Chain A
Amino acid sequence: MQENGKGSDSSDSTGDGTRRSRFDRRTFLGAAATTGAVALAGCTGGGSDDGTTEDSGSTDEGGDTENTDTTAASGGKQGGTLQWGGAVPVQGLDPHIDTSAASKRVLENIYEEVVALQDDYSIQPHLAESMEQSDDNTLLTFNLRQGVTFHNGKEMTSEDVLASYERVQNGDYLATGFFDYVEELRAPDDYTFEVQLTEPFAPFLAKMATAELSVMPAENAEKDMVEEPIGTGPYVFESREIETSFTMSRNEDYWGASDEDGPFIDTIVKSEVPDPSVRLQSFLAGEYDFINGIAPKDVSRVEQAPDVRFEKQFPKSLVYLGLNCDVAPFDNKDARLALDYTIDKEKVAEAALYGTGQTTASPATPGSPWVNPDIEPRPRDLDKAQEHLDAAGMSDGFTATFKIPQSYPTQVQAAEVIAADAAEVGINLEIQQITWSTWLSDVYSNRDFQATTSSYLALWYPDVSFYKFLHPNGAFFFTNWVNEDYNALVEEARTIYDEQERADLYHQATEILHEERAGHLFLWWQPSLYGAASQYKGDIGAPDGSTLQFGDNWLDR
């Protein structure tokens, strides 16, 4: 299995610049199923059960259980305007380029893909009517739907699909790397689209279900950057004012429209309200029907508020402490271990998340088979911390800067607790709040940092967790921790389809991460937290909590 998502969304407050995949375990399964790999229904069931329990549990506390039972299948009322108080302003509007979770939350409703993730975690044809895979899994043939129109009124044909794919293949877009495994793209007739792979490569189909391979009109695919999105989806882009609002309206001619599945809501207006307190106040005052990105500290208030539907999806993302293993002091393993031993992970998670999260010592999504059950976060132990400081030759401690993206209050809170803990053995972490753009350029790109915090989206795909961030060739490698044994393990794991065998490799890899105190020191897994007015019906959010799909949502008023 290959990398299936470019998952690295950071938490709710600012996702700009990060990327996500709307797929986690489900895509993995789907991809596995379609490539004839071992079916993983059992373990996935377990994983999703965990998630579901979280959801319904918290909803019960919210006292509005009946709302979550409302499924799209029961149908909904048409009409109305949804006022959405949004956490992170919409960024770019080109689905092939834009990396921000905030943009995906709207673009997911405007664009569609050839295939799509289903509720049973399989990948099924979407803009295609049917698809076939050759026996050797190298030829994918899609019979496209007829009568699908873009928002500009033009009918979608294989020409548009081909142009969209060639745009990514020949350009420099998020999914471009996946085309290394593509020999040829073909459109033999108006409604047939073929992908010829160089070798069996399951992740390609999963990738096709993400916005990174959204279908756009051929004329738009010629542009380097699309500024006005035109797709085939249930919602049509109306207008936006940067950092202020984003409006989309129901697609009257939606090919998939039905009384059961919508789309129902006439207009969706997203107001950009980045401050979590202001957003919550306005929501509780009735100004919005729906808000995302509730701060963990406010969860109890939302739960107690009357006529409010509270939703929690766990896990959403992993927050970690990043240590630069190329520069002093953290190029020294003992220095890293010393810091590790000073941190009380439970306290840090509690301080930031008020009981909504969970600590971890593995980069793999909780509930997945890739988690090594034998490895626990190191407990706080100042004696051991001092031993490692001595071993590092820094008995009196050391000083390092600690760059924290300021738009994440939970990470700032965590950083304060970590710095206070570490100071007790003389490790001075000097916090520097930086903007997201500074984080991207200084920390990520130039690797000019000593310690930082960041996060990535929960994804079922182990390759994202283990390869993308921790292998030197990974797309988001920046902590400079290099270990040949580790690299060999995760490289081998990419080629293996047997779950148990693969999980074993990842368990061993996790051991190395832990023993060698890799540059990623995992802090916690955190949920997505939403609030909605009680008249807001339908399933909130995409299955994995990483984005929003309004197609089957409706307003009961």
Chain B
Amino acid sequence: MATEQETERGRFTITQSQRDRIARFVRKFRSNTKAMLGFSIVVLLVLVAIFAPIIAPYPIDATNIEDRSQAPSVEHPFGTDDLGRDIFSRVVMGSRISLYVGFGAISGALAVGAVVGVVAGYAGGLTDEILMRVMDAAMAFPPVLLALTLLVVLGPELSNVVIALAFVYTPYIARVSRSAALAERNEAYVEAAVARGESDSRIVFSEVFPNCMAPMLVQGSLNVSFAILAEASLSFLGLGAQPPRPSWGLMINTGRGFMETAPWMLLFPALAIGIAVVGFNMLGDGLRDVLDPKVEAIE
């Protein structure tokens, strides 16, 4: 926890104690298998996404009806789809969509959710009550169902998927950050800041907020995996990414019709989703182990 001296020196310099905390975090993180495994998968995914155009051997939209529905081979390691497109190239390029939606939606949710949560937690009282009841209400709708309804309104586009999912996951982030803020509110450094006569907004954003980051990161990482799953479901229902985009969910949707004749159309995008989801899940779990001593004690 931050001390009074640190806050006086300003938030932009890294103090010795912060440096110690970071070092401790890194040490614990590196010794946690789950965290490291998840982290490796996520890094790998990000690298694949960045270098996707180099990795992908074929253009993703090039149709070739003569070579449609070919089983995996040397030329096409994952086979070809119903329009003769190389599935390996599409799965590789698809990583960009999943990460875009996952990171995009959760960044949005973090930005809004954190503000709502920290404000509610710090302010307390009626503000807290109202904000939290609204969040509860939004959480009462199953995520995919709410996103689906929103997408009918917004139109079926990938950027709208990001917006809809950001909206859907905001309350989850808000809840977590509120709890964290609630805990911080009674800490000595906040009381000291109040005693110094600092304004509420300054206290919230420069002192409480940074200290709520850890649980938000955990929640955020887990929610990235949920968002990736949700994108797949939405695309599966036709309201997410639009063809010919190589969205994994969309590829599964098409592959569904060829389940018996060309199962590879479904298999490889499904595996890709699985790997991505496991990666972010492990990372989130691992982060929780590392950052939350209570959980660590149990496991």
> Do any beta carbons of A and B sit within 8 angstroms of each other in the complex?
yes
Q: Which of B17-25, B71-79, B220-228, B251-259 contacts A (4 or more CB under 8 A)?
A: B251-259
Closest to A421 in B: B63
Q: A295 CA to B259 CA in the complex, in Å?
A: 14
* Chain B interface mostly: loop
Q: Does B275 contact A (CB under 8 A)?
A: no
Closest to A301 in B: B261
B61 touching A419 by the CB < 8 A rule? yes
B257 touching A351 by the CB < 8 A rule? no
The listed residue (B61, B82, B238, B257) touching A420 by CB distance below 8 A is: B61
Q: A276 CA to B61 CA in the complex, in Å?
A: 25
Chain A residues with Cβ below 8 Å from B239 are 433
Query: 1/0 per residue B201-245: CB within 8 Å of A?
Result: 000000000000000000000000000000000000011001110
CB contact under 8 A between A297 and B242, given known A277-B259, A433-B156: no
Interface centre among B156, B238, B243, B261 (most CB of A within 10 A): B243
The listed residue (B61, B65, B157) touching A423 by CB distance below 8 A is: B61
How many Å from the CB of A501 to the closest CB on chain B?
Answer: 42
B242 touching A430 by the CB < 8 A rule? yes
CB contact under 8 A between A351 and B65, given known A276-B257, A433-B243: yes
A415 touching B243 by the CB < 8 A rule? yes
Q: Which of A19-27, A243-251, A405-413 contacts B (4 or more CB under 8 A)?
A: A405-413
Closest to A346 in B: B65
Chain B residues with Cβ below 8 Å from A434 are 156
B256 touching A432 by the CB < 8 A rule? no
Q: Does A159 contact B (CB under 8 A)?
A: no
The listed residue (B155, B156, B157, B244) touching A416 by CB distance below 8 A is: B244
CB contact under 8 A between A432 and B238, given known A351-B65, A420-B61: no
Q: Does B83 contact A (CB under 8 A)?
A: yes
B242 touching A431 by the CB < 8 A rule? yes
How many Å from the CB of A451 to the closest CB on chain B?
Answer: 14
Q: Does A417 contact B (CB under 8 A)?
A: yes
Q: Does A307 contact B (CB under 8 A)?
A: no
Q: A413 CA to B61 CA in the complex, in Å?
A: 12
B155 touching A432 by the CB < 8 A rule? yes
Chain A residues with Cβ below 8 Å from B68 are 351
Q: Does B62 contact A (CB under 8 A)?
A: yes
How many Å from the CB of A62 to the closest CB on chain B?
Answer: 18
Chain B residues with Cβ below 8 Å from A276 are 257
B243 touching A412 by the CB < 8 A rule? yes
Q: A415 CA to B243 CA in the complex, in Å?
A: 9
Chain A residues with Cβ below 8 Å from B61 are 416, 419-420, 423
The listed residue (A295, A301, A416, A433) touching B63 by CB distance below 8 A is: A416
Q: Does A347 contact B (CB under 8 A)?
A: yes
Interface centre among B62, B83, B157, B259 (most CB of A within 10 A): B83
A413 touching B82 by the CB < 8 A rule? yes
Closest to B244 in A: A416
How many Å from the CB of A299 to the closest CB on chain B?
Answer: 12
A417 touching B83 by the CB < 8 A rule? yes
Closest to B239 in A: A433
The listed residue (B65, B256, B257) touching A350 by CB distance below 8 A is: B65
Complex interface residues of chain B between 42 and 93 (CB less than 8 A to chain A): 61-63, 65, 68, 82-83
B243 touching A431 by the CB < 8 A rule? yes
The listed residue (A277, A347, A409, A432) touching B242 by CB distance below 8 A is: A432
Complex interface residues of chain A between 373 and 430 (CB less than 8 A to chain B): 406, 409, 412-413, 415-417, 419-421, 423, 430
> Besides A297-B257, A413-B83, A433-B243, 15 other CB < 8 A contacts?
A347-B63, A351-B65, A351-B82, A406-B238, A409-B257, A412-B243, A417-B65, A420-B63, A431-B242, A431-B243, A431-B244, A432-B155, A432-B242, A433-B156, A433-B242
Q: 21 A-B contacts, Cβ less than 8 Å apart?
A: A277-B259, A297-B257, A297-B258, A301-B261, A351-B83, A406-B238, A412-B243, A415-B243, A416-B61, A416-B243, A417-B63, A420-B61, A420-B62, A430-B242, A431-B242, A431-B243, A431-B244, A432-B156, A432-B242, A433-B239, A433-B242
Query: Which positions in B face A, CB cutoff 8 Å?
Result: 61-63, 65, 68, 82-83, 155-157, 238-239, 242-244, 256-261
Query: Which positions in A face B, CB cutoff 8 Å?
Result: 275-277, 281, 295, 297, 301, 347, 350-351, 406, 409, 412-413, 415-417, 419-421, 423, 430-435
